[in-house]
Amino acid sequence: MTFARQRLGRAAEELVAASLERRGWRVVGRNVRLPSGELDIVALDRTTLVFVEVKAGRNDASRGPERPAHAVGPRKQHKLRRLAREWIAERRGPSGVGGYRFDVVGVSFRANGIADIDHIRQAF
C-alpha cells in the first residue's frame, strides 16, 4: 500500500468517525488491532454495537469498483465477522448491547477535496 493510499484511508476514517459522532453514535474503538487483523471503527448506535468497515477511493480512479463500499466482498465479510468475534471475546463489549451489526461506509474523494459518503447499514 502506498503512503498516499494510507493517508486517503486515514482521512476517510477520520471523516466517518466524526460523522457518526455527530449523529449521536459513541465510537468505542478505532483501528483496533487483533491477532487476525484490524477493525476500522467499532461504535454504539444506541444499543447496537456496529462494526464499521471504511473504504476510501477517488472519484477519478481508473481501478476498482465504481463505489468504494462495493469493495467489501464475501472474503472480507468473513474476515470482518471473525474479527468481530475476536473483539467481543477479548473485550466482552460495552454493557447494555442489544445487538450487533456490520456497516460499510465508502468515501469517494473528488478532485476538489469534497467527499461523498455512502453508508450501507446492515451491509451483510
> Which cell goes with 75?
472474503
Is the pLDDT score of 104 beyond 80? yes
Query: Is the Cβ–Cβ distance between 108 and 69 less than 8 Å?
Result: no
Q: Higher pLDDT residue, 93 or 105?
A: 105
> What's the full length of the chain, in residues?
124
CA distance 98 to 7: 35
How many independent structural domains does the chain possess?
A: 1
Give this prediction's pTM.
0.88
Phi, psi at residue 26, to the nearest 5°?
-110, 115
User: Do 51 and 93 meet the contact criterion of CB atoms below 8 Å apart?
Assistant: no
Higher pLDDT, 81 or 69: 81
Q: Which pLDDT score, from 0 to 100, does residue 67 have?
A: 78
**Per-residue model confidence (pLDDT) at position 69:** 87
Tens digits of per-residue pLDDT, 86-101?
Answer: 999 988 767 778 999 9
| Residue range(s) defining the domain that contains residue 60 | 3-120
CATH number for position 105:
3.40.1350.10
The phi and psi torsions of 59 (rounded to 5 degrees) equal: -60, -30
Cα distance between residue 40 and residue 49, in whole Å: 14
